[in-house]
Amino acid sequence: MVINVNASKNYDIEIGRNLLQSIGANISAIKNKCNVCIISDDIVYPLYGEIVLKSLKDASYNVCVFTFNHGEKSKNLNTFMEIQEYLASQNFKRGDLIVALGGGVVGDLAGFVASTYMRGIDFVQVPTTLLAMIDSSVGGKTAVDLPNGKNLVGSFYQPIKVIIDLKTLDTLPCTEYKNGMGEGIKYAMLMDGELESLVTNGVTCSTNVDKFVELCIRYKKYIVEEDEKESNLRRLLNLGHTFAHAIEKLSNYTIPHGIAVAQGLKIISDISLKQGKMAQVAYDKVQVLLDRYDMHIDEEYSINDMLEVIKLDKKAEGDCVNAVVPYAFGDCRIEKLRIEDLKN
């Protein structure tokens, strides 16, 4: 299946199984022979790197590889600089290409490198986690973290193609699957309808996953085409993220993004219920989904600690924070919440 995104770049998202084997031929339809750097992490590359490397070489690309230690702790300016220097050492020029093979960490980092190396070279997203397939590989947000907070340095920079091989989910650990479902519950709350039913009925690696990925991507395509640079509508995709980013940082990134998003959904639903905005019935539905996908964590962080981090967030403005407040499934609104009120 192919879904086209018509943003500042027009590109196709290809979804299927066993697509890695033909990735070289696939890319050669849109990119002439050039240098290609596969950027990946030390877990994903041993699993899928050779297949991608061979396919690209068979399609006559000149291929090199850069891998880094897996995990959020690598999504920083040090790794960013190492990759930039590696590209320069390999004599990469403006017409060359990056292939980001991995989860959201690889995609965000490689995308940011692509957006800045020689003022921008092409890149292809090849997401291998559920989270990256339904969210981070689509829409062109690229970033690295600073010690002060998540995604504080980055750019909007669209890939020239996204290739989603659902077969790579076969090796994804259950914990990472669950991580993806954190963002999945977010989409269900934003979108309601078919996606909400699907998520309520259950999405597992063997049930409903193809349809789930497709529906999430179709929704994200709609948002990105309307508001690529997040001046308004795209902010909806930050549902749950205000608290999620704080939780990730406070846990020193031991709590993964999607799980943190699920906690953020719970907190913002609590706030919305207490403020009389969210109806009890919708609130209960959120709890059912969080239970169904076992989104509970042992750690607890105080609201004051979270708010200290939130004040540094991109979404903070003076004594207010821009948050997405759920009123019902399919009715989430962007509102300014006073930090003082949140404390209460």
Residue 103 partner contact from ligand NAD, ligand GLY, none using kind-dependent CB cut-offs of 5 to 8 Å: ligand NAD
**Concatenated DSSP letters for 194-260?**
HHHHHHHH---SSSSHHHHHHHHHHHHHHHHHH-TT-SSGGGGGGTTHHHHHHHHHHTTT-S-HHHH
- Which of these segments, 66-74, 133-141, 196-204, 324-332, binds ligand GLY (CB under 6 A)? 133-141
Residue reference for tokens 């040090």: 78
d(CA 138, CA 182): 17
> Would you call 271 helix, strand, or coil by DSSP?
helix
In the 8-state DSSP scheme, what is residue 113? Answer: H
d(CA 193, CA 329): 9
Shortest Cβ distance from residue 219 to ligand NAD (Å)? 13
Cα 317-323-319 angle, rounded to 5 deg:
30
Neighbour count for residue 317 (Cβ, 10 Å): 10
Residue 70 partner contact from ligand NAD, ligand GLY, none using kind-dependent CB cut-offs of 5 to 8 Å: ligand NAD
d(CA 230, CA 111): 18
Shortest Cβ distance from residue 283 to ligand NAD (Å)? 24
Helix pair 303-310, 241-250: axis angle to 10 deg: 100
Residue 59 vs 172, nearer CB to ligand NAD:
172
Cα 46-77-217 angle, rounded to 5 deg:
60
Question: Residue 166 class from Cβ within 10 Å (0-12 exposed, 13-18 middle, 19+ buried)?
Answer: middle
Letters for 232-271 (x = contact with ligand GLY by CB under 6 A, - = none) are: --x--x----------------------------------
- Residue 135 interacts with ligand GLY (CB under 6 A): yes or no: yes
Q: Which residues bind ligand NAD (CB under 6 A)?
A: 41, 43-44, 47, 70-72, 75, 102-106, 108, 128-129, 131-132, 135-136, 139, 141, 151, 168, 171-172, 176, 179, 256-258
Cα 244-38-153 angle, rounded to 5 deg:
35
Shortest Cβ distance from residue 303 to ligand GLY (Å)? 24
Residue 156 vs 283, nearer CB to ligand GLY:
156
Residue 277 partner contact from ligand GLY, ligand NAD, none using kind-dependent CB cut-offs of 5 to 8 Å: none
Shortest Cβ distance from residue 139 to ligand GLY (Å)? 4
Residue 47 partner contact from ligand NAD, ligand GLY, none using kind-dependent CB cut-offs of 5 to 8 Å: ligand NAD
Residue 106 partner contact from ligand GLY, ligand NAD, none using kind-dependent CB cut-offs of 5 to 8 Å: ligand NAD
Residue 165 partner contact from ligand GLY, ligand NAD, none using kind-dependent CB cut-offs of 5 to 8 Å: none
- Residue 221 interacts with ligand GLY (CB under 6 A): yes or no: no
Helices (H), 5-103: 23-28, 44, 50-58, 77-89
Residue 234 partner contact from ligand GLY, ligand NAD, none using kind-dependent CB cut-offs of 5 to 8 Å: ligand GLY
Residue 223 vs 282, nearer CB to ligand NAD:
223
**Cα 183 to Cα 145, 148, 213, 221, 278, distances in angstroms:** 19, 23, 11, 15, 20
- Residue 75 interacts with ligand GLY (CB under 6 A): yes or no: no
Shortest Cβ distance from residue 239 to ligand GLY (Å)? 9
Strand partners, 288: none
Residue 105 partner contact from ligand NAD, ligand GLY, none using kind-dependent CB cut-offs of 5 to 8 Å: ligand NAD
Answer for which of 107, 127, 139, 256 binds ligand GLY (CB under 6 A) is: 139
Which two tokens mark 38?
A: 């596969």
- Residue 141 interacts with ligand GLY (CB under 6 A): yes or no: yes
Residues at the site binding ligand GLY, with contacts judged by CB under 6 A: 135, 139, 141, 234, 237
